[in-house]
């Protein structure tokens, strides 16, 4: 197997590379990134290729040329920008491991996500463009309409601050109803194999460190499990999707859906929820996922590590 994992200099691609090498020892894993810097080879990539930014007009042609030369068995787009470009382009002969255009369309857009939830019959947070937000909506969390991570997020609680943020922000931002508290926050994953209808879910109660999940505890909560399975069925999901929610007295409330492998993919893999492996094997072989059941109370921690790159590399 010969894989290409994009965004090679990021933490998600690093995790996917390590998962691939341990799951398929004979595999050859290539990476790509904007710089084409060779240092990710220290993390296990056999080669690192430079590709233009996904919004550049020559991105698809550069990817086509690279694939024609290397003939990858599977290509795993990692970044939101690439997924956005690919959602509106013909996949052609590319062996992409990604969600279909329908899921990419509503989940890459944080204003469209709650609209899809509401249309599908699920509870949805009140969400508007930032310019339309009013004092009656407070408190709200302001964040970019597109993109991921903790960049550009702010909790706004007063009309004065809301007016200031509306004047300061020049990006396309949204204002979303702010509910619950961080102790009730979960990062979840759904994997569904469309051909068989098999669904696997995992819910991790998380604590954030520097904007990403630093520690998490496996929990099995019927209302969360039921919501995740219903979302997978309603959207005819085929693959893996990350869902972030908060558990309220009224039940779980989704605040974000990420249509890609998330930064907790290695955490899940080590817990036996192997959604990256399942997605690749489903794409290449049509294989359904093996049985998996959570062990509630299991905890997992993310630790930092250092990498020294010699001058010659």
| Strand, helix or coil for residue 167 | helix
Mean pLDDT (whole number) for 18-25: 98
The whole-number pLDDT of residue 93 equals 80
Does residue 33 surpass a pLDDT of 90? yes
- By DSSP bridging, strand 28-33 and strand 2-6 are parallel
Does residue 148 surpass a pLDDT of 70? no
Mean pLDDT (whole number) for 5-11: 95
Q: Is residue 113 part of a domain?
A: no
Q: What is the mean pLDDT of the chain?
A: 94
Is-contact 27 21, C-beta < 8 A? yes
Residues 6 or more apart whose CB falls under 8 angstroms from that of 29 comprise 2, 3, 5, 17, 20, 21, 44, 45, 46
Does residue 313 surpass a pLDDT of 70? no
Whose tokens are 């997020």? That residue is: 153
User: How many other C-beta atoms lie within 10 A of the C-beta of residue 128?
Assistant: 16
Q: Is residue 118 part of a domain?
A: no
User: What is the radius of gyration, based on Cα positions, of the chain?
Assistant: 20
| Tokens describing residue 151 | 């960049």
Mean pLDDT (whole number) for 125-139: 96
Please check whether residues 79 and 140 belong to one and the same domain. Answer: no
The whole-number pLDDT of residue 97 equals 97
The whole-number pLDDT of residue 58 equals 96
Distance, in Å, from the CA atom of 156 to the CA atom of 162, rounded to the nearest integer, reads: 6
Does residue 142 surpass a pLDDT of 70? yes
Please check whether residues 160 and 188 belong to one and the same domain. Answer: no
Starting from the edge strand earliest in sequence, which strands make up the sheet with 173-177, in order? 127-129, 173-177, 140-144, 154-156
Q: Quote the number of domains for the chain.
A: 3
Does residue 38 surpass a pLDDT of 90? no
Does residue 150 surpass a pLDDT of 80? no
Torsion sign, CA atoms 132, 137, 143, 146: negative
- DSSP-assigned letter for residue 11: H
- 146-150, 153-157, 208-212: segment of lowest average pLDDT: 146-150
Please check whether residues 239 and 195 belong to one and the same domain. Answer: yes
Query: 310 falls in which pLDDT band (50, 70, 90)?
Result: confident
The whole-number pLDDT of residue 91 equals 65
Is-contact 153 255, C-beta < 8 A? no
Please check whether residues 169 and 185 belong to one and the same domain. Answer: no
Starting from the edge strand earliest in sequence, which strands make up the sheet with 185-193, in order? 251-258, 239-248, 185-193, 198-209, 212-219, 299-301
Query: 210 falls in which pLDDT band (50, 70, 90)?
Result: confident
Report the percentage of the chain scoring pLDDT > 90: 84
Is-contact 17 7, C-beta < 8 A? no
Q: What is the span of the domain harbouring residue 144?
A: 126-177
Minimal CA–CA distance to 212: which of 83, 146, 307, 302? 302
| Tokens describing residue 272 | 């036996």
Please check whether residues 205 and 224 belong to one and the same domain. Answer: yes
Q: Is residue 117 part of a domain?
A: no
The whole-number pLDDT of residue 208 equals 85
* CA 299 from centre of chain: 21
Minimal CA–CA distance to 274: which of 40, 50, 15, 7? 15
* CA 147 from centre of chain: 10
The whole-number pLDDT of residue 88 equals 78
Q: What DSSP string describes 81-148?
A: HHHHHHHTS--TT--B-S--HHHHHHHS-TTHHHHHHHHTT-----EEEGGG--GGG-SEEEEESS--
Query: 129 falls in which pLDDT band (50, 70, 90)?
Result: very high
Q: Is residue 102 part of a domain?
A: no
Q: Is residue 18 part of a domain?
A: yes
Does residue 239 surpass a pLDDT of 90? yes
- Domain of residue 246, CATH code: 3.30.470.20
Does residue 90 surpass a pLDDT of 80? no
| Tokens describing residue 160 | 């004065």
186 sits in which H/E element: strand 185-193
Does residue 149 surpass a pLDDT of 70? no
- By DSSP bridging, strand 198-209 and strand 212-219 are antiparallel
Stated pTM of the model: 0.93
- Domain of residue 147, CATH code: 3.30.1490.20
Last residue in a domain, options 72, 95, 118: 95
Is-contact 162 135, C-beta < 8 A? yes
The whole-number pLDDT of residue 131 equals 96
Q: Is residue 313 part of a domain?
A: no
Q: Is residue 20 part of a domain?
A: yes
Mean pLDDT (whole number) for 286-300: 94
The whole-number pLDDT of residue 147 equals 79
- Domain of residue 78, CATH code: 3.40.50.20
Query: 244 falls in which pLDDT band (50, 70, 90)?
Result: very high
Does residue 254 surpass a pLDDT of 90? yes
The whole-number pLDDT of residue 305 equals 79
Please check whether residues 151 and 219 belong to one and the same domain. Answer: no
């Amino acid at each position: 197997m010969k894989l290409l994992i994009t965004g090679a200099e990021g933490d998600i691609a690093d995790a996917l590379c390590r998962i691939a090498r341990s799951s398929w020892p004979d595999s050859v894993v290539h990476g790509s990134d904007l710089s084409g810097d060779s240092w990710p080879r220290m993390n296990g990539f056999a080669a690192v290729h430079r590709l233009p930014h996904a919004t550049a007009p020559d991105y698809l042609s550069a990817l086509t040329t690279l694939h024609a030369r290397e003939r990858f068995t599977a290509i795993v787009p990692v970044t939101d920008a690439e997924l956005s470009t690919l959602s509106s382009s013909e996949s052609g002969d590319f062996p992409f491991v990604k969600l279909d255009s329908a899921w990419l369309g509503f989940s890459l857009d944080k204003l469209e996500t709650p609209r899809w939830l509401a249309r599908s019959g699920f509870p949805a947070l009140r969400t508007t463009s930032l310019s339309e937000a009013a004092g009656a909506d407070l408190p709200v969390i302001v964040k970019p309409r597109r993109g991921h991570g903790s960049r550009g997020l702010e909790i706004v609680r007063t009309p004065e601050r809301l007016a200031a943020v509306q004047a300061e922000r020049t990006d396309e931002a949204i204002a979303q109803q702010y509910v619950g508290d961080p102790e009730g926050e979960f990062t979840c994953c759904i994997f569904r194999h469309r051909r068989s209808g098999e669904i696997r879910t995992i819910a991790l109660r998380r604590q954030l460190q520097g904007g990403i999940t630093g520690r998490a505890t496996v929990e099995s909560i019927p209302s969360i499990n039921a919501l995740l399975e219903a979302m997978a069925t309603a959207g005819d999901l085929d693959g893996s999707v990350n869902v972030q929610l908060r558990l309220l007295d009224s039940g779980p409330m989704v605040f974000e859906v990420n249509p890609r492998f998330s930064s907790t993919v290695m955490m899940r893999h080590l817990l036996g929820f192997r959604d990256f492996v399942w997605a690749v094997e489903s794409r290449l072989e049509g294989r359904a996922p093996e049985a998996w059941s959570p062990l509630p109370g299991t905890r997992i921690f993310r630790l930092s590590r250092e990498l020294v790159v010699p001058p010659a590399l």
